[in-house]
Structure 1
Amino acid sequence: MASGTGAREKTFFGHPRGLATLFGTELWERFSWYGLRAILATFMVASPAAGGLGLTEATAQAIVGIYGALIYLVALPGGWIADRVLGSRRAVLWGGLIIMCGHISMAIPARTGAFVALGLFLIIIGTGLLKPNISTMVGKLYPQNDDARRDAGFSIFYMGINIGAFVAPIVVGWLAAGDRWHLGFGAAAVGMALGLLQYARGRHHLRGVGDVPGHRLTPEERRHFGLTALAVVAVIAVALTAWTASGTFSLDAFALVMTLIILAVPVLYFGYILLGSHNLTDDERSRVKAYIWLFIAAAIFWMIYDLAPTVLLFFAQHRTDLSLFGISITPATTQAFNPLFIMIFVPVFAALWVKLGDRVTAPQKFAAGLFINGLSFVVMALAAALAQSGRISVWWLVLVYLVQVFGELALSPVGLSVTSKLAPQAFKSQMLGLWFMSFAVGDSVGGQTGRLKNHMSEPAYFLTLAVIAIVASLVLLAFAGRLHTMMREHREPSAPASP
């Protein structure tokens, strides 16, 4: 009887039972995240009389881009904290609690931006703790050499993300309609609370995964870390205060400065990993070097893909007839197209990766995903050209999101898996944070691309971004064989490299 129970507990569509716990937690966390994202830009551009912030669309694009970037930027220290202080399990728990508090702050119906700023800040911090570490725990559910099932497991995990992403824009968009913004934000808070409940109830299925930090700090190191963190916060506070007092601060300037900082962070961190004394093996160093190429490809991918909550949302609002099958929809509902298609095609891709095994390499999958994503903006360029003479059917956006789905499923779940696989042992959680740093780079640069619209037409804007993605995909494909060799997936571990 006991053995039979244990066998049942280990099965979730043929995967470890702990995947179900992480699947449900991520589903509700993503509901809260995508619910907020579906209305944030339109909330920002709405007039103060309508309960919004009254920003221009260009400024809103830049700020939403930086907000998205910061969400992923803090994934890097979030992974470090899990590796060195909390362990992944507690990092996810604390992150969820902080996220919930952030959404509650956003939901307070006060006519001031203070609660909005506080809410966004808390969501950023909480997501930095939760997002990289829950993905790390998924990777640790599988044996190191079980690559095919790990890829399939991440695809199933990705399904949970997109169930939340599909439901959230519909529910939150409907609640926020009629300028009921804070009611929509409140629904996001409820979603995160449900995620925390799921996590607490299913904790025993994780069987100790993430309980212990991979490389716990000594008491002296913890004191040093605390003092350093306080010093950094103080320096940032003083710098922002001085900048504001100088009279030169603006949201657009802040977004530009943050973009430059975000671009510098992965450069510095890759240098830290490769040039520091971490007793990495020769194979680990080679894998990190190969990963840099995949990182750049992913950043270009997200630069285009994550324009959905700004550029594509405003396009839906101003350029399309918001009607599907004769039913009126909100602009936020268009954000549900992409996850709907993902839920349809995730099982197909999960089975495909198992069937193909090692015959298609990770670099080849990345190149295909990036190329397809570029094609989606070729379609957008045509749609924008047609929209210059009047509103067009919202089915054009449906087509764009359908094309993007195939690119996303070729790159994103595989990116999570390959990051877990290529990460040096001492940097497991941190490397997952570095994977989400590619989102940060893409989001911040994508937010700045709105400046191009001052110098070119909307169709030319979309076509320019499409060409960048397609050219980058062809370059990556040309070097795919060399990168596969650098990944050293079939070699015995080498001796530790000299410090």
Structure 2
Amino acid sequence: MSAFDKKKIYESVPQKGFFGHPKGLLTLFFTEFWERFSYYGMRAILVYYMYYEVSKGGLGIDEPTALAIMSIYGSLVYMSGIIGGWLADRVFGTSKGVFYGGILIMLGHIALAIPGNITLFFVSMVLIVLGTGLLKPNVSSVVGEIYSEEDNRRDSGFSIFYMSINLGGFLSPLIVGGVMKYSFHLGFGIAAVGMFLGLLVFIFTKKKNLGLAGAIVHNPLSPDEKKKVFTRFGLAAVVIAVLIAIAIPNGLLTFDSFIALVGILGILLPTAYFIVMYRSKKTNDVERSRIIAYIPLFIASVMFWAIQEQGSTILASYADKRTQLEFAGITISPAWFQSLNPLFIIVLAPVFAWLWVKLGKRQPTIPQKFSLALLFSGISFLVILLPAYFGGSDSLVNPLWLVLSYFIVVLGELCLSPVGLSATTKLAPAAFSAQTMSLWFLSSAAAQAINAQIVKFYTPATEMTYFGVIGGASIVLAIILFALAPKIQGFMKGIQ
């Protein structure tokens, strides 16, 4: 994006109107709120829907397979952001990416809401994966466009935006998890309604509040490029379809081989992206230095999300099978624990946003904040191994242990996620702005691709080792990153 385009977009957005922030933040806040309401509501019950018996309304998939599918699903959701970011940068802009993505997500939830079979389940997965890839990175990129690069409100604005994600994530598991005992499909239907409301907010407020933000295609394809690119895409789609048609009947494409393939892609795709951006003629020397600085931040993000995202897999199963669900006279739905993470963020996000503004130039640097995030995530896993240490792996665990673990990892998330979103918009090469945001979400894709490989090692018997090894690795990486923080900061070339 040229400096002229950035200035033109910034000037087109009303700069006051939402708690002292640009008015466009209101549109993006509520669009993202409803999209996350739909996604996290669906996700809160999806793993149970997969491994619960058919007699209980589930699909009857064995639990290890269900946990692996859940991780692969999450990985593909974020991996598809590559497609969404590229299409936004080069074809139709971020605003249309948000709209088209919302349509696909809504259709995916509708497919889940229809009582049927495993086929509809996989159809819904494809729709939600593609839809989230279009919407998720692009709505975050638009947030970056409504602020100037020098605007001190930027980090605070991303923290407020991040709170919208968690407000939706807090309410939906409570509502959808509450109806889970009656019908999984009713819960998925509620998720579909949530995405529909998000689309209405976006459609009816974007023109007035967003100005040109999201409307400009920053690196458009030329007519010749369009012809070549879409011809290649078409040929690639045909080749992939033929290979799948041959591989499945011959036993070459199995669930295990698919997990391995996604794991490889989770590593190769971000590596390829870093290489392409670094070597591009459209990237200048300052931007190349910033790409170098971004690499250790990306690796730290992978480690963090590998722990945080197990809240919907390993810890979801832990809540269902290892936790005492009769507490203080209340019967707890295991899905309700999915509300803990966003609840703590809702409470603490304003505190962190205020803290960064209050500290100003005295606040920790971006690499130092990331190292703190890794420290907290590691401690959160060490905490959850303590019940097995004190009481063994056979007794049910007091739910407050899970509450404490979720609380600690949230402290890390607030040091990493909103800060990472903001840092991505500042460190991104101009020609790859939306695609760099897609790269940020690839850290979660890589983390969950890795998780799909390691969740099979979790059993009640290996519980302490599992949590201890992963938690310890996060703490060691935190120490290394903190030591390298000054060097990384130097490569950022003035970005704070």
> TM-score when scaled to structure 1?
0.94
Shift of 1:222: 1.6
User: 1:477 maps to which residue?
Assistant: 482
Does 2:347 correspond to 1:344?
Answer: yes
Corresponding position: 1:35 with 2:38: no
**Contiguous gaps of at least 5 residues in structure 2:** 1-11
| SS of corresponding position for 2:185 | helix
Which of 166, 187, 190 pairs up with 1:187? 190
Q: CA deviation at 1:289?
A: 0.6
**1:441, 1:431 → 2: CA distance?**
15
Q: CA offset at residue 248 of structure 1? A: 4.3
Range that drifts further, 132-141 or 216-225:
216-225
AA matched with 1:28: W
- Equivalence for 1:269: 273
Does residue 116 of structure 1 match 2:95?
no
Q: By how many angstroms is 1:9 displaced?
A: 7.2
In 1, the alpha carbon distance for the partners of 2:430 and 2:14 equals: 31
Contact 1:366 1:410 in 2 (8 A): yes
Match in the other structure for 1:81? 87
Determine the C-alpha separation between the residues in 1 that align with 2:459 and 2:18: 51
| C-alpha displacement of 1:202 | 1.3
Cα distance, 1:453 vs structure 2: 3.1
Number of the residue aligned with 2:320: 317
The residue correspondences of 1:28-427 to structure 2 (distance < 5 A) are: 28-110=34-116, 112-146=117-151, 148-178=152-182, 180-203=183-206, 204-278=208-282, 280-359=283-362, 360-385=364-389, 386=391, 388-427=393-432
Sort the Cα spacing of 1:340 and 1:286 in 2 relative to 1 into closer, same or farther, 3 A. Answer: same
The secondary structure found in structure 2 opposite 1:87 is helix
Q: Secondary structure at the match of 1:44?
A: helix
On the 8 A contact 2:341/2:410 being kept in 1, the answer is yes
- Deviations 1:389-444, CA, capped at 9 Å, x for gaps: 41011111111111011000000000000000000110110000000000100111
What is the identity, as a one-letter code, of the residue corresponding to 2:311?
A: A
Instruction: Quote the offset at 1:76 in angstroms.
Output: 1.4
Whole-angstrom distance in 1 between the partners of 2:472 and 2:242: 42
Which residue type is aligned with residue 446 of structure 1?
Answer: N
| Contact 2:156–2:353 (Cα < 8 Å) also in 1 | yes
* Matches of 2:349 and 2:369, distance apart in 1: 15
Q: How far off its partner does 1:456 sit?
A: 6.6
Give the conservation status (yes or no) of the 8 Å contact 2:98–2:135.
yes
Once the two structures are TM-superposed, the CA of residue 49 in structure 1 deviates from its matched residue by 3.0
Distance 1:322 1:454 in 2: 20
The list of structure 1 runs, each at least 4 consecutive aligned residues, that deviate by more than 4 angstroms after superposition, is 6-9
Using the alignment, how far apart are the partners of 1:193 and 1:348 within structure 2? 31
- In the TM superposition, residue 220 of structure 1 has moved relative to its aligned partner by 2.0
CA displacement at 1:113 relative to structure 2: 1.0
Distance in 1 of aligned mates of 2:388 and 2:123: 36
What's the secondary structure of 1:320's corresponding residue? coil
Secondary structure of 1:448 counterpart: helix
Task: Write the distance in 2 (CA, Å) between the matches of 1:20 and 1:490.
Answer: 27
Structure 1 residues 356-365 or 292-301, which shifts more? 356-365
Distance in 2, matches of 1:51 and 1:214, equals 47
* Residue 225 (structure 1) shift: 2.0
For this pair of structures, how many residues does the alignment match?
A: 482
- SS in structure 2 at match of 1:372: helix
Question: 1:32 touches 1:189 (CA, 8 Å); kept in 2?
Answer: yes
State the AA in 2 paired with 1:119: S
Q: Decide whether the 8 Å contact of 1:167 with 1:336 is kept in 2.
A: yes
What residue number does 1:497 align with? none
Aligned alpha-carbon RMSD (Å): 1.7
Paired AA for residue 336 in structure 1: S
Report the equivalent of 1:25.
31
Q: Does 1:463 align with 2:441?
A: no
Residues in 2 aligned to 1:396 and 1:115: alpha-carbon distance in whole angstroms: 37
Deviation at 1:490, TM superposition (A): 6.0
Distance 2:45 2:13 in 1: 44
Q: 1:14 aligns with which of 16, 20, 34?
A: 20
Deviation of 1:229 after TM superposition, in Å, equals 1.7
Aligned residue type for 1:447: A
TM-score by length of 2: 0.94
Deviation at residue 324 of structure 1 after TM alignment: 4.4
User: Identity of counterpart residues, as a percentage?
Assistant: 44
Alpha-carbon distance in 2 for matches of 1:310, 1:459: 17
* Aligned-partner Cα distance in 1 for 2:326–2:368: 38
TM-superposition CA deviations, 1:226-260 (whole Å, max 9, x none): 22222222222222222211124432331122111
Residue by residue over 1:190-215, the C-alpha shift from the partner in whole angstroms, topping out at 9 and shown as x without a partner, is: 00000001111211200110111101
Q: Relative to structure 2, which stretch is displaced further, 224-233 or 480-489?
A: 224-233
d(CA) in 1 for partners of 2:14 and 2:294?
A: 37
Residue in structure 1 matched with residue 3 of structure 2 by the alignment: none
Aligned to 1:433: 438
SS at match of 2:19: coil
Give, as a single letter, the amino acid of the residue that structure 1 aligns with 2:427.
Answer: L
